[in-house]
Amino acid sequence: MSSANSTILFKRFADIRSALLDRQEIALLDVREEHPHAQAHPLFAANLPLSRIELEAYTKLPRRDVSIVTLDDGEGYAELAAKKLVVLGYTKVAILTGGVSGWQQDGGEFFRDVNVPSKAFGELVESIRHTPSFSAEEVQALIDSKADVVIVDARRFDEYQTMSIPTATSLPGAELVLKIRELAKRPETQVIVNCAGRTRSIIGTQSLINAGLSNPVAALRNGTIGWKLAGQKLDHGQDRRCKDITEANRFKAATAAREVADKAGVQRVILADIQDWRKQQTRTTYFFDVRTPEEFAAGHIPGFISAPGGQLVQETEMVAPVRGARIVLADTDHVRANMSGSWLAQMGWEVYVVDQTQPSDFSETGHSISLLPPLPEVHKISPLTLADWLKSSERTIVLDVATSQYHLRQHIPGAWFVLRSNLTKDWQRIPKANRYVVTSENGLLARFAAVEIETLVTGAEVVVLEGGTQAWRDAGFAIENGSTHLASEPIDRYRRPYEGTDNPREAMQGYLDWEFGLVDQLSRDGTHHFKVI
C-alpha cells in the first residue's frame, strides 16, 4: 500500500482509444454501480463499483503498475476511486476527463447493458458465420412431433433452473463440446442450443460446428426471450444434467478442441514456464480454471481462479478488466480450456492453455479466495451480542452494506440497506441511534464501510458484526427478506431484460433489437480487434 499523495492524472477519449488500438494494457473502470453503468459506457469499460474496490482490486488488477482509468458521470466517484486505488498501491491511475459525457463529446461510441464485448462479439460471429438457428415455433413443433432432437441449455445451471425450454438438458457453454456426444448419440439427431437471449446460444452452436460435430446443430433463435414472445410455455425447476462422459468421447472432443484452438491462435505453455508470469512484473496475467466450481473446489492448480468457461467467454471484462492482458487457462480434460481459449483468442486476447498437467498439479482445494489489502481495525461484536442489544431498549440500528441482491434475499430483521458508495448522500434517511452495527455478507465490506460511517455520526458508537449476516444466520438467529428498510436505491444490480419470468414484452423485444444493432456499433467504435475464424 502506498501514500495517497501520488499524482492522479486525467486522460481523454483519444488517449484511451490509442492504447486500445495499440493493444497496450489498460483497465478502463466504470466505478458507478451496475445499473447506471448499464445505461451508457465505453465498449471495454469494466464495472468495478467504488463501493467494492478494496474487495476486488487485487484480484482483478493483479499488476500494481498497470494503466488504470476511472470514469463516472459527474458524481465524483471516479476521483474517489482513483484515490482509493493509489492508496492500494497502484501507480498509474488516471481519471477520464468529462466522464461518460466527455467520452461522447470527444466522439466515443456508447454501449448499454452489461457484458457488451462478449455480446457484440457473438453478434459478429453470427453475421460472419451465418450460424444456423430455428425459431421458437419451429423448435416447439419438433418437440410436439417427438422428433429426434436434443435441446441443451448453455447457461449456468441456476439460470436453467429458473426457466428452461421443455425437454432441455443443462449443459453450460464450456461443457458443450465435451459432453454433447453423450446426449446426441446418433449422428442424425438434431441438436438445439439455447440461452436466455442470443449470445451463449450463438457461441455454443458455433462451438459445436467449429469442433466438427457430425450432427445437425442450430441455435434457438432469441433464446427463452423468443420462446416467451411466441407465447409458448417454459419449464421451471428442472434438474436434467449430463454428468458422465466416456473416455472415447472425451478423446474425440479433446482432439477436435485442440484443432479449433490452434486455428484460433491459442498458444501452449507448461506450468514450469509460467512461474515468472505469476510475479506480474511486466505483464498482467490472469490464471483461470475453466471447469465447474465443484471440480475447482475438489482440486485445482495453486494460484488459479475459478472461471467456468462458458461464463468466462460471456463475462470476460468482469473477471479480466485489463484489456491487452495475457490469459492462461487450465482444465483436466483438454477440451474446455481449448474451446474457451479459441473464443477468447478471437476476441483479441493473448491466450495460453496449460499443457502436460498431471493430477498431482491440481493440489489446492477449496473455492477461490480474493486477495485483500489489510483490513481496517474496527470494534467487532458477535451475533449473540447483537441479539442482546436488539432486545434491549437502547437504540441500536443495523446497517447492511451487502449487495442489494443479497440483502433482499436475507438480512437481519430491521436492518437498513445502504450502498457504501452513497453513504453520505443517503445518510439522512437512516434513523438516529445510540449505536450502529455494520454488517455485510461475510463482514469484510462492513469493516471498510464502518470507518466511513464513523465520520458521519456524532455521539454514537459504530461497530462491525463479526462474520457478517452469514455468521448471524449460522448462529441460528432469524432472518427476513424483501425491501423492508431501503436507505439507498438498489442500483448496484441491473435487472437484465432476459432474466426472471415477469419481464414486459416491450423490454424483451427492445433487448433483442439492441443486440441486432451491436455489429454496427462495433464498426463505429473500431477498437475491438475481433477476428472470427
- Chain position carrying cell 453478434: 123
Taking phi over 0 as left and psi of -120 to 50 as alpha, with beta for the rest, 153 belongs to beta
Q: Are strands 326-330 and 285-289 parallel, antiparallel or unpaired?
A: parallel
- The answer to whether the 9-113 and 120-240 domains have the same CATH topology is yes
Let me know: does 189 contact 150? Beta carbons within 8 Å: yes
- pLDDT, tens only, 6-29: 678 999 999 999 999 999 999 999
At the fourth CATH level, the homologous superfamily of domain 254-361 is: Rhodanese-like domain (3.40.250.10)
Cell numbers 455468521: residue: 471
Per residue in 349-405, pLDDT tens? 999 999 999 999 999 999 988 899 999 999 999 999 999 999 987 799 999 999 999
Q: CATH number for the 9-113 domain, one of 3.30.420.10, 3.40.50.300, 3.40.250.10, 3.20.20.210?
A: 3.40.250.10
pLDDT for the residue numbered 1: 53
C-alpha cell at 463: 461497530
CATH H-level, domain 120-240: superfamily: Rhodanese-like domain (3.40.250.10)
**Predicted pLDDT at 129:** 97
Domain range list for the chain: 9-113, 120-240, 254-361, 380-474
> What value, to the nearest 5°, has the Cα angle with vertex 161 and ends 155 and 162?
95
- Highest CATH level, class, for 380-474: alpha beta
Query: Beta strand pairing status for 380-381 and 461-465?
Result: parallel
Q: What are phi and psi of 295, to 5 degrees?
A: -65, -40
pLDDT at 496: 81
The segments of the chain whose pLDDT lies below 50 read: 3-5
Following CA atoms 360, 362, 366, 369 in sequence, which dihedral angle do they give, to the nearest 10 degrees? 130
Q: CA–CA separation, 460 vs 457, rounded Å?
A: 6
| Per-residue pLDDT at 3 | 46
How far apart are the C-alpha atoms of 217 and 335, rounded to whole Å? 19
